[in-house]
Amino acid sequence: MADSSLCAVQADGVGYSYGRKRVLENIDLRLEEGGMFCVLGPNGSGKTTLFKLISTIFALQDGEISVAGRSLRHFPTPVRRKIGVLFQNPAVDMKLTVRENLRYHGNLYGLETYDLEKRINKNLEALGVENRGGEMVESLSGGLRRRVEIAKVLLTRPSILLMDEPTTGLDPAIRAELWSIISGIRNSRKLSVLFTTHLLEEAEPADEILLLDQGHSVASGKVSELRSSLGKEYVRIGTYQPKKLAARIRKEGEIEVTVEPAAVKVVPIRGLAAPLAIRLWREYSKEATSVTLCRPTLEDLFLQKTGRLWSSTPGEI
């Protein structure tokens, strides 16, 4: 096992089964203190199971997880004092007001009344919901409910924030707003953050990622290093007839051509992608709907590791 002294969360050889169904196999991860770690995977890849193990909801079966230097197997209760957990479905009581929800949460953690009220006021203000304290949570929008939940989770001043698909069900504008709030909180409170997502773009700002597929780790490391391991920039040509266009482009030579849904991916074997993009646009402008100069993405990484497109992964029913 690696040294876990400066490690907020460390998992070694974690496995889990629901009855006979194996859903996680030999998973390792390491979140540095103050770092941001993303568990990325399509639906059904085992992200939520891994999250429930780290957040102490599920008991460990195989492997070890330590949080803030403490083993989850032996010390789940002290670990719970260190973590703040944001679930996919908001863990707030819809029939209570915003302030009541925060108060019950504080009481659950044994906070004293005076201190609790001070923290509630501070957190509601920090999350921009200070005027909503008396409103029933059920009357708030999805974005506001998330803010209330963040305010609630931060009441206990956790050092590690765990989030399971925190932007599920939110529209893109609210999603961006939420990430900006989380980023601000992370910096101001020096939080270590571990989150799961199935949205590729949400994984990009993370310091490190773990890419899961069907319960297995298919890649892990720093996003920039994983990207550069994929090679050069390339050109993606949008088209209604990708097979036909790919056959024509292949004749050009010194390029690798891959057919994608409604697009053709062209990677130069020698030289740079930018001049190739200009040349391809000139030559195939009639067939092409767009020509884009691309850097390798996490989607490319997934394709390379699994042989499948991210968009073709099976969803949960």
Partner 1 sequence: MIMQASSSLALREIVRFLRQKNRVIGALATPVIFWFLLGSGVGRSLASSGIRERADYLTYFFPGIVLLIILFTAIFSTVSVIEDRREGFLQGVLVAPDGRSAILFGKLIGGTLLAVFQALIVVLIAPYTDYHPDARVLMYLVAMIALLAVGLTALGFLIAWPMDSTQGFHALINLFFVPLWFLSGALFPASGAAEWIRTLMRMNPLSYGHDALAGLLATRPGMPLPLDLSHDFSIVIASTLLLVMACALQVSRRS
| Contact footprint for partner 1 (CB under 8 A) | 52, 55-59, 76-78, 80-81, 83, 85, 87, 89-96, 100, 103-105, 107-110, 152
Residue 44 CB neighbour total at 10 angstroms: 18
Residue 85 CA to residue 102 CA, distance in Å, equals 14
Residue 53 CA to residue 15 CA, distance in Å, equals 10
Cβ proximity to partner 1: between 152 and 265 the closer is 152
In Å, what is the CA distance from 178 to each residue of 143, 183, 256? 8, 9, 39
Residue 69 CA to residue 315 CA, distance in Å, equals 35
Cβ proximity to partner 1: between 85 and 140 the closer is 85
Instruction: Name the minimum Å distance from CB 165 to partner 1.
Output: 13
Cβ proximity to partner 1: between 107 and 289 the closer is 107
Cβ proximity to partner 1: between 74 and 222 the closer is 74
Instruction: Name the minimum Å distance from CB 131 to partner 1.
Output: 22
Instruction: Name the minimum Å distance from CB 107 to partner 1.
Output: 3
In Å, what is the CA distance from 81 to each residue of 47, 85, 161, 209? 23, 11, 11, 25
Instruction: Name the minimum Å distance from CB 87 to partner 1.
Output: 5
Cβ proximity to partner 1: between 8 and 277 the closer is 8
Which single residue is written with the structure tokens 């330590």?
A: 66
Instruction: Name the minimum Å distance from CB 68 to partner 1.
Output: 13
Q: Are 250 and 219 a contacting pair, CB within 8 Å?
A: no
